[in-house]
Amino acid sequence: MTAPKTPQKDAYALILEAIDVGLYRPGDRLVESELAERFGVSRTPIREALQRLETQSLLTRDGRSLIVASLDHNQLAELYVVRTELEGLAARLAAKHATPEEVRVLNEMVADDRALLNDPSALSQANKRFHKQIHLASHNRYLVQQLDLVHRSMALLATTSLAVEGRGETALAEHQAIVDAIGAGDGDAAYAALRAHISKAFETRLRRDADGA
């Protein structure tokens, strides 16, 4: 009897996750052979994944090498404009379509994330899960797809605004306001609360970048 084949790891997802968690940061060079060894994947799917990531502008050319792309000030501003509008729409739709179970999960996420206030990296990952849950609660597959693209580009941000002192606690209060509006079925309030949340995150990032310049 033939043994079942071990499913091939998704090279694209592995590299994208590595960028997302900061294993590879903007400016880092990605080498096929090193990636294949790190992830235990053959070089052909690694090569295909790198080509796909380059097409999506997550990687860029530096001579003959591929490096993780970085966002300049204008690109960052453009990304936040799109993110603000799409996230706000997701919250509005979630207020209309979210099930009671989904609202409870969102509330539990906010409560659980308070234990991560002293760990900006873990809080950043929890923040992504929270936003993803709102996207899913919108019950609009096309919107979820577009938000996935936006958040893929957000992986190019080398740091998190949640690392700024006091931002984590404020962000969780903003999360709770969003969930309260969704739970109340108030689309306008949910839209406004999520837009304000993203705007504050952008402002915090800009201020931190200016201070570090």
Lowest-confidence segment of 43-47, 91-95, 106-110 by average pLDDT: 43-47
Is 75 exposed, middle or buried, given 0-12, 13-18 or 19+ CB atoms closer than 10 A? middle
- Largest separation between any pair of C-alpha atoms in the chain: 65
pLDDT attached to residue 94: 98
Percent helix, strand and coil across the chain, each to the nearest 5: 70, 5, 25
pLDDT digit string (tens) for 139-188? 999 999 999 989 888 888 867 777 788 899 999 999 999 999 999 999 99
- Token code pair at residue 121: 């990296």
Angle between helices 141-154 and 120-137 (to 10 degrees): 160
Please indicate, yes or no, whether residues 32 and 112 belong to a single structural domain of this protein.
Answer: no
Q: Would the pTM count as exceeding 0.85? A: no
Please indicate, yes or no, whether residues 96 and 182 belong to a single structural domain of this protein.
Answer: yes
Please indicate, yes or no, whether residues 20 and 111 belong to a single structural domain of this protein.
Answer: no
Last residue of a domain, one of 46, 68, 90: 68
**Domain assignment of residue 37, given as a range:** 11-68
Q: Is residue 131 part of a domain?
A: yes
Check pLDDT > 80 for residue 137: yes
Q: Is residue 207 part of a domain?
A: yes
Please indicate, yes or no, whether residues 117 and 171 belong to a single structural domain of this protein.
Answer: yes
Q: Is residue 4 part of a domain?
A: no
Number of separate domains in the chain: 2
